[in-house]
Amino acid sequence: MTTKPSRLRRGVASSETAREINRDILLHTIHLHQPVSRADLARLTGLQPSTVSVIIGQLIDEGWVLPGTLGRLPRGRRPTFVTLNDQHVTLAIDLRPGSATLAVVDINGKIVRQEAISISAHGNSKNDLKKSIAKIAKAAQSLRASSGDRLFAGVGVSVSGRVDQKTHQVLFSPNVPWTQIDVHEELQRVLQTPIEMENAANACLLAEQWFGKFGHTSNMIVVSVSEGIGTGLLVDGRLVRGRNDMAGEFGHMPLEDSGTVCGCGNTGCWETFASNRAAIRYYKELVPESKLESFKELLNLAIAGDIRALRSIDKMMAFLGRGLAILVAGLAPEVVIIAGDCTALWSRVCPILESQLIAKSFTSSTPRVVAAMDGDTARLRGAAALVLHKVLFRHSEFEQANQQSAKPAV
């Protein structure tokens, strides 16, 4: 007795699989075009009107979709528009050195409530880190309690570090010692709910895909600029993870042979020249007597017109552009998205970045350089998107496609 080759077995899709794929496509299309009628959904997706009606009915019964206002047509029956039900929310947590920001984010990306708390910035012991987790949990429980009858889909966490998606362990976090404890397990234990956790730059990329304007972009780089530098990479429609989910740590590529010692132990890393910390260092070199401690203080000085603050940020951006030129040459993105507080000075910093890319480009064109739609809150919306992808999209292949345009299943 012979056995059919496994490749043939993998090629067969059950009717259940087809329904799940079509459900995911409809949810994605509603998200992009809401409010939208069933007739328009059929036209946009290529699905049969009867299939659309059946699946929309199921989604309404499940509570993910709401029937809305009636549309108007020159003749015939008035269509009913549908939208995603924004009663569904996610608790999003953004972990950084010295602080954590928590927010309740609805299914459409609106931040309903937000709270920032300080946590131990330099505590390296497991006990210190567990105290920080307990403080985060207390704030999270308070936010949930104040959200009334909202329906929580789960908790999404954005962290400054690389996360193994199989074990949920933080593998690399040079600026915060999250590798000392199992952050995922600790949060899940104290919050008593499933946790989705991702690197901050990858979270920003998901935010741009799900809530932003780049859901159909196949090649994109998101650069998260904060205490360090992280990158999220979308290449040919796929999120690049690499071995052990470590791809994207371009903040630690050597830009110079010497310089400030980086949190990773090396010298000359890109983030030691182009991060928020670097800008603060540049300012203190110009103003040795300064007591300035945070990038937001520096940013406020720059916005107020302080020439030395502006020069410090200009220098930071020149180095950021140098690193971007390397990434662009190697990955050929259509768009580069910058996420971080520095985008508050976008009209000033964007030309600096663009000039670096143009000067070092070996082709006649360079990618678009844009600010993240949310500035530094992109990390929160990205944490929310982690949960929404998991909860909304049931078919794994659709998730892996990273919201690329998909044809209906047959």
In this prediction, residue 90 has a pLDDT band, given cuts at 50, 70 and 90, of very high
CATH of the domain at 296: 3.30.420.40
Count other Cβ atoms within 10 Å, centred on residue 369.
24
* CA 143, 188, 399, 212 torsion-angle sign: positive
Q: Is 0.95 topped by the overall pTM? A: no
Indicate if 280 and 239 belong to the same structural domain: yes
Looking at the domain assignment, is residue 8 inside a domain? no
Domain boundary among 39, 60, 85: 85
Q: Quick one: pLDDT at residue 386?
A: 87
Indicate if 107 and 159 belong to the same structural domain: yes
Residue 73 has pLDDT above 70, yes or no: no
Question: Which spans in 97-174 are helix H?
Answer: 126-145
Looking at the domain assignment, is residue 410 inside a domain? no
Q: Quick one: pLDDT at residue 149?
A: 85
Indicate if 94 and 79 belong to the same structural domain: no
Looking at the domain assignment, is residue 391 inside a domain? yes
Give the number of domains in the chain. Answer: 3
Indicate if 23 and 115 belong to the same structural domain: no
Indicate if 186 and 278 belong to the same structural domain: no
**Nearest 5°: phi and psi at 123?**
-70, 120
Residue that is written with structure tokens 């059919």 in the block: 4
In this prediction, residue 70 has a pLDDT band, given cuts at 50, 70 and 90, of low
End-to-end CA distance of the chain: 31
Domain boundary among 68, 85, 102: 85
Indicate if 201 and 277 belong to the same structural domain: no
Give the model confidence (pLDDT) of 229-280 as tens digits.
999 999 998 999 888 888 888 999 999 888 889 888 899 999 999 999 999 9
Encoding tokens for residue 3? Answer: 């056995």
Indicate if 250 and 346 belong to the same structural domain: yes
CATH of the domain at 55: 1.10.10.10
Indicate if 251 and 340 belong to the same structural domain: yes
Name 222's bridge partners. 232, 337
Indicate if 231 and 258 belong to the same structural domain: yes
Looking at the domain assignment, is residue 109 inside a domain? yes
Indicate if 77 and 92 belong to the same structural domain: no
Looking at the domain assignment, is residue 404 inside a domain? no
Indicate if 95 and 157 belong to the same structural domain: yes
Name 173's bridge partners. none
Indicate if 93 and 79 belong to the same structural domain: no
Domain boundary among 33, 52, 85: 85
- C-alpha 23/C-alpha 409 separation (Å) is 10
In this prediction, residue 14 has a pLDDT band, given cuts at 50, 70 and 90, of low
Mean pLDDT of 337-357: 95
Q: What does the buried/exposed string (b/e) look like for 80-99 if buried means 16 or more CB atoms within 10 Å of the residue's CB? A: ebbbbbeebbbbbbbbbbee
Task: Please state the length of the chain.
Answer: 410
- Structural domain that includes position 54: 16-85
